[in-house]
Each structure stands twice: as structure tokens, then as C-alpha cells.
Structure 1
């Protein structure tokens, strides 16, 4: 399990220590605060989960959560509310604020641990999903291809490439130093066409070299073998 930092915010010191002890036994790193004011003095963005008591001093758990959800750095931190109040309206308030779970007191430690694990697991899945959705970048020096946006830039200036030119450059730049035969390039770039001449590849390579300026010389011809992006 990856190490996750959890902050427990509750004005009952004994309860904070009990939760800290049991969650640390599960492998989490746990800090505690006995008021919202105390919690706000901490570096909150470093936590992967907050356990907030609803009924606390001047700043309630609901108010603290509202504050955090409005800040970009803390808006995505999962929150579990801990409360002695189990009225339906209170639960709805918590979920409307953006709570990930709501546990009514008194509760068993096993229940809290199980719910914490579930919320942390969901948070980890979201992060993995976000990683997959990040823009895919292929580059050499200042020749940059944004595969997600189908965009190519040289020294920060966008270069207009046709679809075939883009696919050829993506293929060569993505595996720098590898020689691709004309047959390989045809099979990977001209997948839909029934019949394409080798000359078509040569023409596209020539245009591509001109368009990417100083990096055109990196696309080299290996006589009798094919093309590669040489570094």
C-alpha cells in the first residue's frame, strides 16, 4: 500500500488519539488537530484524506470543508465527516458540500478503518485515471509533438502538418534511432489505403523535413533499409 497522510480534526482529544493509533496500525501516516483553526495552520494539501468532526467551536466541520472546497489546492482532498448527529438533513448537507462519506457517532473503529480504506482506494483510482488522461508528449530538443492535441511545434512555433506527415513523424520520433522500412511505414501510417506507392512515402518525408526546419536533418535515409530519426 502506498503511504497516505490522513488528518483527523476533532475536539475530542481522546478520540483523535484512538483514531490515530488504529489508522497508523493500518499503515497510514496520521496527524491530529483539535479544532478547525488548528487544522488551518497545517499544510493541508499534503493530506490524502481528512476526517472532520462536524460540531466544533466557531468553525464547524461543514464550514471548514466549505472553505477547503473553494481553494484549488485543497478542493480535491477527500473528506469523511464524523458526527454525533445523524439527521438526514445533516447528511445531505455533508454530501452537498462534497463529502466522500459520513460516519455517525458512536462508531466502531473497524467501521472507520473500512470506510477510510474505501475512500483512499477511490482517491487512488482517480489519480491513476488522471495520469492516463494527461497529454502525451513526444519530443527531441525543441521539436515537440503533443499527441493528444495533434499539434507539433518547433522552437515554440506551431508547424502545420498533414495527417500522414504527423503520423510519420510520430512513428520516427517516438522510437528515435530505430530504422523503419518503407513497408513498416506503409503498414502503420497508410492503414486504410489498399495500394500506395513507395514514392508516396518519399514525397511525404521530403515535405516533413522542410516543415520541421533544423530538425529535418535528423530524419535520415538508410539506403536499402528505410528511414529513422537520428539523434
Structure 2
């Protein structure tokens, strides 16, 4: 099997749904595996996969807990799309804050799911094609490979979305991005994410950046940008 074939792990305790997803994704040329619980998923080498399709409400460990372990304990940055019947805004924000790339509420169309899978994989490939390993400004260093931020020699924990937003603005200093542009670049075409999500992530970033937080500027009515301190 060619190296360019993308591997997708489906994590859901509904066996019938997993079978349908496998059939349709494999019909699109993807290689799939299934884990019927979060605990089973953790037994796998998650770095082998290009994408996780992850249910939130499962017996035993929840999908939210699983992604928290994946992102924060194991430091695995494989793209994650949540599949869930939960649709409240707080639930959506929780998923994104924990590092999800997209969020699809049940019931959903298979065409929509496959379209979002393609967007998530395309975005992931674009990020991995950048050969530069570090971005640095004074005593602030953002490692693009490990996705870690170091300020004055101290590690600063970032969620995946915080990292992606900081990287976008850091790589393109002084260029203004509107909230809609940030949503499109970071979250793709997901219709469940609002401008408030961008503001929440920027506010958290400013606090985590300490003295460099003032570099994250907001031009009223236009958007956000990273400005070099004078």
C-alpha cells in the first residue's frame, strides 16, 4: 500500500456506525481502523494515523478525556474531528479548546463528513510541509515541530488551536487577519465555530505570552496581528 494513503482511526462505541464509516471512507481511498472505546484507542500507536474521528459520549472514558490525554500527556498532534450528538455551544468550545480540529453533530451526511475529512487532512499536510523548525522573537521561541512555546527558558503550555493561531500571526508579523480569516485558516469550513471562539483563544494567548502578550494587537473592526515590540 502506497505511503501517500491516509490512515484514519474511528473511535466510536456504535459498531453499526463504525462499519458505515469504514465502508465509505475506504471507498474514498483511505485506510481505516476502528477502536470501540477510548481505552482501546489508547492501546494503539496514534502517531501512525493521519486523522482521528472521535465520538464524545462513549461508555467508560469520554472523547473529551481521550483528546486531553492525546494532546497533553502523549503530545500527539494528529488532527481530530469529533462526531457527537452534543451540540451546545459550551460543548463545542470545550472540544476546540482541548485541541479538536472540527466538530460534526449527529445526524450528519456522509458527504459532509468526507468533505471535512479532506479539509482537515489538506490543512495538516500544508502545515507539515513547512521546513522551518523554530520561530523566535527575543526570548520567545515557538518550536513548530514539537508545538511548544518557550519564554525566558520556561515552557508555556498551549492548546493546539492556541498554537495554530500564534503560529499564523507569528509567521506573518504585522499582517492583519480578520476573525473570519482566522476561522477559515485554523478551523476550515466548520459552521459551528463563531467569532467568539477566536476572541477567547486570543485572550488566553495574551495571558500565556506574559510580557509578549502586548504583541498580539487588535485593530478595531479589522482584525488581529502580531506586532514586534519597539
Q: TM-score range by the shorter chain?
A: 0.5 to 0.7
CA deviations 1:46-89 (Å, max 9, x no partner) are 11110100001121000000000013551x11100000011111
For 2:11, which of 1, 6, 9 is the aligned residue? Answer: 9
Unaligned runs of 5+ in 1: 136-231
Matched, 1:34 2:33: no
Q: CA RMSD in A?
A: 1.5
Q: Is the 8 A contact 1:45 1:73 kept in 2?
A: no
How far apart are residue 43 of structure 1 and its match? 1.3
After TM superposition, the runs of 4+ consecutive aligned structure 1 residues lying more than 3 A away are none
Number of positions where the alignment pairs a residue of Structure 1 with one of Structure 2: 132
TM-score scaled to structure 2, two decimals?
A: 0.55
Corresponding residue of 2:62: 60
Equivalent position SS for 2:19: helix
Equivalent residue for 1:71, pick from 64, 67, 73 = 73
- SS of the aligned residue for 1:14 comes to helix
For residue 134 of structure 1, report the CA deviation from its aligned partner. Answer: 4.7
* 2-structure distance, mates of 1:48, 1:32: 14
Structure 2 matches for 1:198-213, cutoff 5 A? none
| 1:91-134 Cα distance to aligned partner (Å, 9 max, x none) | 010000011000000001001100000000000000001xx215
Find the aligned partners of 1:15 and 1:24 in 2 and give their Cα distance.
14
Larger Cα Rg: Structure 1 or Structure 2?
A: 1
| Counterpart for residue 133 of structure 1 | 132
Query: Hey, what does 1:21 align to over in structure 2?
Result: 23
TM-score by length of 1: 0.55
1:44 Cα offset (Å): 1.1
Counterpart Cα distance in 2 of 1:133 and 1:88? 36
Match of 1:96 in 2: 97
* Structure 1 residues 187-228: Cα deviation after superposition (integer angstroms, max 9, x where no partner): xxxxxxxxxxxxxxxxxxxxxxxxxxxxxxxxxxxxxxxxxx
SS at match of 1:70: helix
